[in-house]
Amino acid sequence: MYDLIIIGMGVSGISASIYAHRAGMKVLLLEGSAPGGTVNSISEIENYPGISKISGPDLAYNLFEEVNILGIEYKLEKVTDVILEDIKRVKTTNNVYEAKYLLIASGRRPKMLGLKNEEKFFGKGISTCALCDGALYKNSDVAVIGGGSSALSEALYLSNIVNKVYLIHRRDEFRGEDTLIREVKEKGNIELILNNEAQELVIEDNVLKGIMLKDGKKIDIKGIFIYVGFIPNTDFLESTDIKREDGYILVNNHYETNIKGVYASGDVLKKEIYQIINAASEGAEAVIYMTR
């Protein structure tokens, strides 16, 4: 029996675990993939106080290192279901764990375009992580699809590796940070394609060769990097009565869901701002309110 089970070892979940540990709680962290969550796929982080610049994987390593130094228990097991009674039970691929409180910090994952053959070529020409796969396309032409800060920053990262980046956005202006927009426009090997979108993958001899755009134009590229939004990781909540909107969890001002003793924090929340600093704060606040 644990005092608190935290689902997710991203910034928010680990932040919560540190505060819970300091409060004397018996804590268990659960993570179905790599500790650090989505920060593992960020090339550079330059907006976190006290850290002028750090790569996402380095920040993820530092977070995981702190968990180990503090001796906080964790299991790398995927959560498949939760049973939310007085005692919260969390089922994973390997075990069932019980706790008095539950904090859901499971984050979100990239959304895909929904094109034919997209899943087939994921990892074989299609990616959602420039940091992970950018080196595979050295001196080649690639496309980045999206108009937010993620698409802009990843296009900039790729521009230092590949020959040319086609940055494709379905609207006439970007939604990202002004600094990133300015840098993208000043970069010589990034070509902006606005008011357009990918319509079809061009496949030849079972190899991705390019994309057809909505206006009928064909672009020859070897890789496509997709940044068109996210889907919350809340599939394991289907059997529960936790209130959600578009899959995102709804909470009160204390980060508690509609079910007593069940809290949520980080990118899995329905909110307006999705930043690393918010995720860290929300995890800490959830535990502070939980232990009052």
Nearest to 268 by CA among 106, 109, 101, 150: 106
Is the pLDDT confidence value at 59 over 90?
Answer: yes
Stretch 26-51: mean pLDDT: 92
pLDDT digits (tens, 9 = 90+) for 64-100: 999 999 999 999 999 999 999 999 999 999 999 999 9
Instruction: Write down the pLDDT at residue 131.
Output: 86
- Residue 184 binned pLDDT confidence (cut-offs 50, 70, 90): very high
pLDDT value for 41: 85
Q: Give SS3 for 200.
A: strand
Catalytic amino acids?
129, 132-133
In the predicted model, what is the mean pLDDT of residues 121-135?
A: 92
Could you report the per-residue pLDDT of 155-178, keeping only the tens digit for each?
999 999 999 999 999 999 999 899
- Largest Cα span, the chain: 62
Looking at residue 210, what is its pLDDT? Answer: 96
With vertex at residue 108, the alpha carbon angle to CA 106 and CA 111, rounded to the nearest 5 degrees, is 155
Q: How far is CA 176 from CA 29, 107, 148, 200, 277, in A?
A: 33, 20, 4, 26, 17
Long-range contacts of 81-87 (CB under 8 A, 24+ apart): 81/236, 81/239, 82/7, 82/236, 82/237, 82/239, 82/240, 83/239, 84/240, 84/241, 84/242, 84/259, 84/261, 84/262, 86/261, 87/1
pLDDT value for 258:
98
Spatial distance between the Cα atoms of 207 and 210, rounded to a whole number of angstroms: 9
Domains in the chain: ranges and CATH: 2-109+230-290 (3.50.50.60), 112-226 (3.50.50.60)
Q: Is the pLDDT score of 224 beyond 90?
A: yes
Residue 43 has pLDDT above 90, yes or no: no
CB atoms within 10 A of CB 233: 23
When pLDDT is cut at 50, 70 and 90, the band that residue 132 belongs to is confident
pLDDT one-digit tens code per residue, 245-272: 999 999 999 999 999 999 999 999 999 9
Q: How far apart are CA 57 and CA 64, in angstroms?
A: 10
- The predicted pLDDT at position 142 comes to 98
Average pLDDT, the chain: 96
d(CA 6, CA 130): 29
Measure the CA angle with vertex 136, ends 214 and 154; round to 5°: 60
The pLDDT assigned to 42 comes to 87
Residues in Cβ contact with 217 at an 8 Å cutoff, skipping those fewer than 6 apart: 196
The whole-angstrom separation of Cα 37 and Cα 254 is: 23
